[in-house]
Amino acid sequence: MECVEGETLAKRLEKGALLLEQVLKYRTQMADALDKAHRSGVVHRDLKPGNIMLTAAGAKLLDFGLAKPTVPPATAVTLAGSMKQSPVTEQGTIVGTFKYMSPEQVEGKEVDARSDVFSFVAVLYEMLTGRRAFEGKSHLSVASAILEREPSPINSVKPMTPPALDHAINKCLAKVPDERWQSASDLASELKWISESCSQAGVAGRVSAWRSRRERAAWLLAAALSVLLISGDVAWWHAENRRTPPMYFHTSVPFAANDLALSPDGRTLAMVAYSAQAEQLRALNL
């Protein structure tokens, strides 16, 4: 077997859910590997986090120990009666890991690529939410959940999950195989489209946020300049009003003025003066 360096997805999930960007990256590689297996005529039948390795090069799908040749859905009924089954794959025998089995696998029915699609998306659900799609305290309760209950919507756990991804996962977890994506290739194409849409939305969001920040900065700068201009106008107006305008006046005094005095506000002039007769009397008195 190939020696693969890295950690299993099960080990990584012990730390919690993965980021959406990581899930979208790994899911492409996982779906492509599953599609190659199906095109080669192999159904894995044991897809689970412990059989997926996360390496420096990406995700690798391992352990095909329970794999079996693909039985096309249209010919499953006719082939079941004509093909000799081994004890491991005999009708009614349950193989795999309960927590990630498809409904038909739990019931021991014949499985095809659509069963792997169900298990693959159950793993994808856990990668996104950090919890299993179908849980229980025993094999029986887990099997009951797989057959009868629907997992909680991903956006109820991760509100930022794209609705298209939530829809694709719900479709793949349908109880009836005919209601799911019919191949890993179809699912891979859908997930690739969702990934590209998320990337474009992310770029558009960043551009929009940058434009919003730029517009906000421009408005703040304009507001600051307006405040400065208004403050300058107000200061100038107060300065102009505090300034006392110069006063000029002309007066003629018909007699000699000996003393002059200007009032503090500059509006009144006081003077002391004597007429010529008063000067003569003053000289006589002296």
Indicate which residues carry an active-site annotation: 46
Chain centre distance of CA 85: 50
Contact between 64 and 136 (Cβ < 8 Å): no
Q: Phi and psi for 47 in degrees, rounded to 5?
A: -70, 125
Distance CA 52, CA 59 (A): 7
AA letter at 95: V
Distance CA 134, CA 250 (A): 108
- The DSSP code sequence of 185-251 is HHHHHHHHHHHHHHHHHHHHHHHHHHHHHHHHHHHHHHHHHHHHHHHHHHHHHHHHHHSPPP-----
**Among candidates 260, 246, 254, 262, which has minimal Cα distance to 278?**
254
Contact between 136 and 145 (Cβ < 8 Å): yes
- The DSSP code sequence of 243-284 is SPPP-------SSEEEEEEE-TTSS-EEEEEE-HHHHHHHHH
Sheet of strand 58-61: strand arrangement? 7-8, 52-55, 58-61
Cβ of 217: how many Cβ atoms within 10 Å?
Answer: 10
